[in-house]
Amino acid sequence: MVTIADKAVLVTGANRGIGRALVEEALSRGASRVYAGTRQAWTHPDPRVTPLTLDVTDAAQIRAAAAEVASLDVLINNAGIWLFDDLTDRAALDRHLAVNFFGTYGVTQAFLPLLTRSRGAIVNNVSLMAFAALPLTPSYSISKAAAFSLTQSLRALLAGQGVTVHAVLTGPVDTDMTRGFDIPKASAESVARAIFDGVASGEEEIFPDPMSAAMAESWRSGAAKALERQNAALAEAALASG
């Protein structure tokens, strides 16, 4: 279980929305260093914040960012895009996968040596749409389902190295992403608090807002979670026997 005080935290997509709220919440919980990954130059008045130029689709920027970080306890893969499509244009799918799935994958792989050394945590800001697609944004939903599956496999594969891997099954949050949608939304600040609370209490899936929280119990006691555990045990046994 990983708490934030005196820890080094990296947040991607840190300049606005949930990412920005995560930066502020990490600072208020006493993080010793917050690496803020952003596409555009960005500054923060707190000297504990180190901006990193980090477009998660850019392999060279990911490598350069990893080279700038000496130690890391918590990686939060938060950067994401959400665009409307209807599955007729493959480019929309490619775009979502590039940011929401391969971005998460690429950043995670680059920082894994540091996280293994610190026995740290990986937190993937997924979406409730990983559970059930919203057919108005099918490419987004596919990319988040893929990111959720990545989270499950990494969790099992890294457990033996002491790295915890968390999925955030976020519902609607009041950010630029959902502007124009007239539905109940949680604040980014409350979601950021719930994410760090969930990591601290060792929750594998974090349900950080009222809509997602209503699904938490049925997920935790449900058949899909039981199957995930069964599959993880199967893999562990197979890997142990060579």
Ligand X SMILES: NC(=O)c1ccc[n+]([C@@H]2O[C@H](COP(=O)([O-])OP(=O)(O)OC[C@H]3O[C@@H](n4cnc5c(N)ncnc54)[C@H](OP(=O)(O)O)[C@@H]3O)[C@@H](O)[C@H]2O)c1
Cβ partners under 8 Å of residue 150, min gap 6: 101, 104, 105, 108, 124
Among 67, 176, 221, 240, binds ligand X (CB under 6 A): 176
Q: For the purposes of burial, counting CB atoms within 10 Å of the CB of 58, is it exposed (0-12), middle (13-18) or buried (19 or more)?
A: middle
**Chain centre distance of CA 171:** 14
Among 4, 31, 145, 173, binds ligand X (CB under 6 A): 173
For position 143 contacting ligand X by CB under 6 A, the verdict is: no
Q: Is 144 a catalytic residue?
A: yes
How would DSSP label each residue in 96-142? HIIIIIHHHHHHHHHHHHHHHHHT-EEEEE--GGGTS--TTSHHHHH
Judged by CB, which is closer to ligand X: 99, or 156? 99
For position 137 contacting ligand X by CB under 6 A, the verdict is: no
**Chain centre distance of CA 29:** 19
Judged by CB, which is closer to ligand X: 41, or 223? 41
Question: Which residue stretch of 25-33, 171-179, 198-206, 215-223 sits at the interface with ligand X (rule: CB under 6 A)?
Answer: 171-179
Cβ partners under 8 Å of residue 157, min gap 6: 235
Using alpha carbons, select from 95, 97, 108 the residue that is nearest to residue 54.
Answer: 108
Among 2, 8, 12, 167, binds ligand X (CB under 6 A): 12
How many binding residues for ligand X (CB under 6 A)? 29
Among 51, 138, 172, 208, binds ligand X (CB under 6 A): 172
Judged by CB, which is closer to ligand X: 73, or 148? 148
Q: Is 35 a catalytic residue?
A: no
Among 17, 106, 198, 208, binds ligand X (CB under 6 A): 17
Binding pattern to ligand X, positions 49-78, x when CB under 6 A?
A: -----xxxx--------------------x
Spatial separation of the C-alpha atoms in residues 213 and 31, rounded to whole Å: 26
Are 209 and 187 a contacting pair, CB within 8 Å? no
For position 134 contacting ligand X by CB under 6 A, the verdict is: no
Q: For the purposes of burial, counting CB atoms within 10 Å of the CB of 48, is it exposed (0-12), middle (13-18) or buried (19 or more)?
A: middle
Residue 25 Cβ vs ligand X, minimum distance, rounded to whole Å = 13
Q: Which residues contact ligand X (rule: CB under 6 A)?
A: 12-13, 15-19, 39-40, 54-57, 78-82, 99, 103, 125, 127, 170, 172-173, 175-178
Active site residues: 140, 144
